[in-house]
Amino acid sequence: MEANGGARDGDVIRRMFGGIAPRYDLLNRLLSLARDRYWRREAVAQAQLPSGGVALDVCTGTADMALELAEQFPSARAIIGVDFCPPMIRIAAEKVARKGLTNRIRLQVGSAEALPFGADTFDAVTVAFGIRNLVDRKCGLAELCRVLHPGGVGIVLEFATPQGPLFGWLYRVYFHRGLPWLGGLISGDSQAYKYLPASVSAFPAPQELSRMMEEVGFHNVYFRTMTGGIVTLHVGRKLA
């Protein structure tokens, strides 16, 4: 993994996330001023999961999206979370067990670029703040589309760079200076929180990500920004 976030080494990223896993949730709340919960709620609301439906959360991390899916769609038959980082999955499993949801949420280790599921399996697929970290993003998007039922919805929530002159400048100062310092102070790994802003800066613009989704088979793709452009929510459907 390069310092500029442009080239991505899967093994390095896996070890990095494994190292910060114990404080990952705390840092998410602090560094986003708890806005990450709102972003996830808005993203999951787009899933429109039918009664008895099955959803997949890719790059599930500590299972926040999977838990949100379970909360918003109590009649779902099953929710599966997959992540390539075993320490994240272990923490996710503890959270799911504490909430008494082990009968509804299943977690497993797996790669977003080679999902261990058959084609046309899920009614909805979500990924929050994970596409950016993939070695082959287009492959990951293609996998999301492959495992969806025809007519199923794919949801991608990802960081972006605000464009407004004043807010954009203030955010960049915080994101590139304050966040690495605070994240490093709490997690003990400043390099991991230097990677975050570098990877966001190197990530394609929302219009480009929408185009990539269309190229791999999603239709009616649209996106909207939230919180002044800090994040973008992309939604598309697999052609029925």
* Structural contact between residues 210 and 222, judged by C-beta atoms closer than 8 angstroms: yes
The annotation status of 83 as a binding-site residue, yes or no, is yes
Any binding-site annotation on 225? no
Give the residue from 217, 200, 38 showing the smallest Cα distance to 125.
217
Q: Is the dihedral of CA 133, 225, 201, 41 positive or negative?
A: negative
Annotated binding site for S-adenosyl-L-methionine: 62, 83
Annotated binding site: 62, 83
